[in-house]
Structure 1
Amino acid sequence: MDRAALLNSNPVVFSFHRLVHGARHLALAGGITLLLILAMSRLIAADFTEPVLEEYVPIKSIHLPELTVTVEKSEPPAKPQDPPPQPVTRVDDKVVDPVNTTVVFNPPLPRGDQVDAAVISRDPLPVFKPAPRYPSAALRRGMEGYVVVEFTITATGAVRNVRAVAGYDGVGNPTDIFNRSAEAAAARFKYQPQLDDGVPVERHGVRNRITYKLAQ
């Protein structure tokens, strides 16, 4: 055993083993290197060329058909029809029929040493008579005419109990087409009331003629 220990511990034997081990590694490395060089040489020797690509499919020429623009001759626009005749502008009859006015001056009456003032009696006096509204139905037909209205003038000068007594067209035929308009206009009349001995009183049965005429 001592001999074996001596053999193992001999530096010469130990160096030989290391040399053998190193030579083995060198041989392995050299073999791998030779293989790599051989592979590279094979790759270099190979004649690589660009792969042949298929030619593109040729595109046929596009022929556009000739465009022909046809312009049709347009007819001139038709002449517009004449507008319908406009309704004739009406002119309200603003003539106010006069009312007979009687003014009576009574002589002063003695009263002791004093004398009474004159006492006045008179018929109603028109103050305001608005023009009537021309009925649209009569305006469309071009009708003219007049209406006689009757009413009562109150002690304050207002008008009440208005009614159409008779209505006629322009040729004298009876018609009621103007009645409502005439009654509405007469209801707005204003008067100075009738005076009897200086006292305002009502006046019944007052008649007035309202005329409807179209502008010429």
Structure 2
Amino acid sequence: MVLMRYALAAALGLMMTLALLLGMHGLITSSGGAEPDRSLRKIADIWQPQRTIEEQRKIVRPEKPREAERPPPPMPDLQVNVETPKGTVDMMTPSMEGLQVGLGGSFTRDSDYIPVYVPQPDYPPMALRQGVEGYAVVEVVITVTGSVRDVKLLEESPANKGFGKYALRAAEKLKYKPRVIDGKAEEVPGVLYKFSFQIAR
């Protein structure tokens, strides 16, 4: 019985193997047949629209020359008449005759010290408008360098017209030749100077 079973199983296995071989053979022969006719294949035509190449030329027109800028119309001549007051200042050293001035320190005669530089003082506006003339006497101390210090107003006439104020401003800029004794410069106190204000006629 056992042998018969083995024989039957072997027969069935052989039959199945043969069936598989036959099936594989049929598939191979069917796929490996004659090549299809390539001439029957038609490749679709590639259609390209006809293009017209147009040459575009850019026409550059020359710019019109700009009109030259016209110069502005000439301005009318403006004449401005500026009247400058004819005011002059007469500057001189004062005369000590009849001048009662209390001086501190040593007395210095006018002829001994004459300034090497005298600034031009401004004419007082109030006096100029009123046509008033006057003078002012100042006192200074000459330093070892020739400049001045301790400027003081001793007298002005007429008073309250600005002669003393403008004389003091100018006196601060007076320059003298320093006094030298035995090769050493010394200060000179109590030096007077008179500013006379006169209007030119």
Normalised to the residue count of structure 1, the TM-score between the two structures is 0.44
Q: Which has the higher strand share?
A: 1
Structure 2 length normalisation: TM-score? 0.47
Greater RCO (CA < 8 Å, at least 6 residues apart): 2
